[in-house]
Structure 1
Amino acid sequence: MDFVFIGIVASLGSGLTFFSGFGLGTLLMPVFALFFPIDIAIALTAIVHLLNNLFKLVLIGKKANLKTVFRFGLPAVLFAFLGAYLLGTLTDIQPLYTYRVSDKEYQITAVKICIATLLIFFSFFDLIPKLKRLEINTKYLPLGGALSGFFGGLSGHQGALRTAFLIRAQLSKEAFIATGVSIACFIDVSRISIYAKDLWQLRNSLNYPMLVTASVMAFIGAYFGNKFLKKITINTIQVVVGILLIVFAILLGIGII
């Protein structure tokens, strides 16, 4: 049942990214967090995210706008390292508060509070109409890359900011998607290089069949997302995702998850 659940989420999240410019990491990371520590969940999500983006590059990568990729992508790569490093630092901090409910112990930690805050922030991009339509002048593309890369390295949630900045780059729909995918690949490679040490140390305890399942189902979602690119609206999906993100963030912040 765990594999079915993760497979469905990965497939839906991957398809969603074709319409919104973000979604796979937003949906998949909380699911992985149900089975793994939060930092490892972020790292595993990054692996699936990268493999899925590489697959999407095969489908539409030739339509990417290279000038925009480099203006946005280079700062994103640099700051993704910083965000990923900060994630490791926050993980090493001792629990801020421990409490018990019945016979079960829960811990409130710095990294969980940080990630919960980011999740709530990024949920606003799905729920608040003005943020859904947020557009930022193209001269700020390097700044957008820095912010997107930093939050991508820290929590895996960089697509919403990337979309907000790239939407003003005067790209066609296909070029907008392909450019975003190209930039996401840069960020994923950067943060995975930082996560690699922890992943290697825990290599014997990771659930590789679950990781493979998520990756394959994400490929399937990306394939069908590309097929239905011009036909599907995501407004309702965005609202549902935003609400679920807030619920998960609250549970994560108080240590339940």
Structure 2
Amino acid sequence: MEYLLVPLAALLASGLTLFSGFGLGTLLLPAFALFFPVDAAVALTAVVHFLNNLFKLALLGRAADRATVLRFGLPAVLCALLGAALLVHLQELRPLLEYGLGGRRLQVTPVKLCVAALMASFALLEIAPRFGSLAFHPRWQPLGGALSGFLGGLSGHQGALRSAFLLRAGLSKEAFVATGVVTACLVDVSRLSLYAAHFAADGLGANAGLLALACLAAFAGAFLGRRLLRKVTLRAVQVLVAGLLLLLSLALGAGLV
């Protein structure tokens, strides 16, 4: 049954990016967290995110602004390693609380609380009208790269901050998109290099087939959807998805997921 439910959840999450305004990673993380440990969900989301951006990189990579990539991307790559290392460390900490509910033994762990808090925070920020128009002066790009990279390594939430720090960089539309894609790919490579070692240590290779199937389903949903439908943000869908993300983050933080 899981070989049906997991890919279906990934496919639906990918499809929602067309109407909700949320990024692929933001929606895939909670979907995968329903079926996998939270650190595995973050890493799996990173794989899909990376594969999805490779296609964009092949099309737009040459248009990226090299100076901005260095100024913003280098701190992002370095801090992504720190964020990924923190994720691994949090996963190894003992549960903060254990309790029983409905015959189940549930645990509230540091890694679940951390990722749940970030999920809830970015769900609220994404629907805040002012956040969409937030833009920082170019002098803050190294700091923005460090912050978005760190959060990218920790939970995968990097896209919204990256855009806010690059909006006023004086780039053309094509260069803006390409620079963001190049930076995102660099961050994904950086954090995946650390995640891979952790996966091997945890013996998650037994789920390799299921993980690969989920990756393909999510990638197919995003790939096909963007070519069959025009992306449009529907406010009602956006608010509904944000509400569901908040509920899932509360369940994750409470140890129910």
TM over 0.5: yes
The alpha-carbon deviation at position 59 of structure 1 amounts to 2.6
Q: Which residue of 2 aligns with 1:59?
A: 59
Q: Which residue of 1 aligns with 2:140?
A: 140
- Distance (Å, rounded) in 2 between the aligned partners of 1:84 and 1:69: 21
The alpha-carbon deviation at position 93 of structure 1 amounts to 0.8
Q: Which residue of 1 aligns with 2:12?
A: 8
- Distance (Å, rounded) in 2 between the aligned partners of 1:199 and 1:45: 14
The alpha-carbon deviation at position 110 of structure 1 amounts to 0.7
CA contact (8 A) 2:8 2:217 kept: no
Root mean square deviation, CA, Å: 2.2
- Distance (Å, rounded) in 2 between the aligned partners of 1:238 and 1:70: 34
- Distance (Å, rounded) in 2 between the aligned partners of 1:224 and 1:67: 33
- Distance (Å, rounded) in 2 between the aligned partners of 1:11 and 1:102: 33
Q: Does 1:176 align with 2:180?
A: no
CA contact (8 A) 1:12 1:221 kept: no
Larger displacement relative to structure 2 (160-169 or 139-148): 160-169
CA contact (8 A) 1:126 1:241 kept: no
The alpha-carbon deviation at position 222 of structure 1 amounts to 4.0
User: Kindly tell me: are residues 220 and 100 of structure 1, through their superposed partners in 2, closer, same or farther at Cα, counting changes over 3 Å?
Assistant: closer
Counterpart secondary structure, 1:206 = helix
CA contact (8 A) 1:10 1:215 kept: no
- Distance (Å, rounded) in 2 between the aligned partners of 1:182 and 1:212: 26
Q: Does 1:79 align with 2:58?
A: no
The alpha-carbon deviation at position 233 of structure 1 amounts to 3.1
Q: TM-score, normalised by structure 1?
A: 0.88
Which amino acid is 1:178 matched to?
A
Counterpart secondary structure, 1:192 = helix
User: Unpaired runs of 5+ in structure 2?
Assistant: none
User: Kindly tell me: are residues 47 and 97 of structure 1, through their superposed partners in 2, closer, same or farther at Cα, counting changes over 3 Å?
Assistant: same
Q: Which residue of 1 aligns with 2:166?
A: 166
The alpha-carbon deviation at position 51 of structure 1 amounts to 1.2
Which amino acid is 2:158 matched to?
Q
Counterpart secondary structure, 2:205 = coil
The alpha-carbon deviation at position 219 of structure 1 amounts to 5.1
Deviation by residue 1:213-233 (Cα, 9 ceiling, x = unmatched)? 4336425524653786xx543
The alpha-carbon deviation at position 234 of structure 1 amounts to 2.1
Counterpart secondary structure, 1:106 = strand
Larger displacement relative to structure 2 (127-136 or 61-70): 61-70
Q: Which residue of 2 aligns with 1:106?
A: 106
- Distance (Å, rounded) in 1 between the aligned partners of 2:251 and 2:113: 10
User: Kindly tell me: are residues 167 and 183 of structure 1, through their superposed partners in 2, closer, same or farther at Cα, counting changes over 3 Å?
Assistant: same
The alpha-carbon deviation at position 65 of structure 1 amounts to 1.9
Counterpart secondary structure, 1:94 = coil
The alpha-carbon deviation at position 102 of structure 1 amounts to 2.2
Q: Which residue of 1 aligns with 2:226?
A: 225
User: What pairs up with 1:186-197 in 2 under 5 angstroms?
Assistant: 186-197=186-197
- Distance (Å, rounded) in 1 between the aligned partners of 2:60 and 2:224: 11
Deviation by residue 1:150-195 (Cα, 9 ceiling, x = unmatched)? 0000111111111111111122333222211110001101111111
Deviation by residue 1:27-51 (Cα, 9 ceiling, x = unmatched)? 1111111111001111111111111
Counterpart secondary structure, 1:136 = coil
The alpha-carbon deviation at position 24 of structure 1 amounts to 1.2
- Distance (Å, rounded) in 2 between the aligned partners of 1:227 and 1:163: 25
Deviation by residue 1:5-37 (Cα, 9 ceiling, x = unmatched)? 212323544x57xx96x6111111111111110
Which aligned segments of 4 or more residues in structure 1 are displaced greater than 6 angstroms? none
- Distance (Å, rounded) in 2 between the aligned partners of 1:179 and 1:235: 27
User: Kindly tell me: are residues 215 and 173 of structure 1, through their superposed partners in 2, closer, same or farther at Cα, counting changes over 3 Å?
Assistant: farther
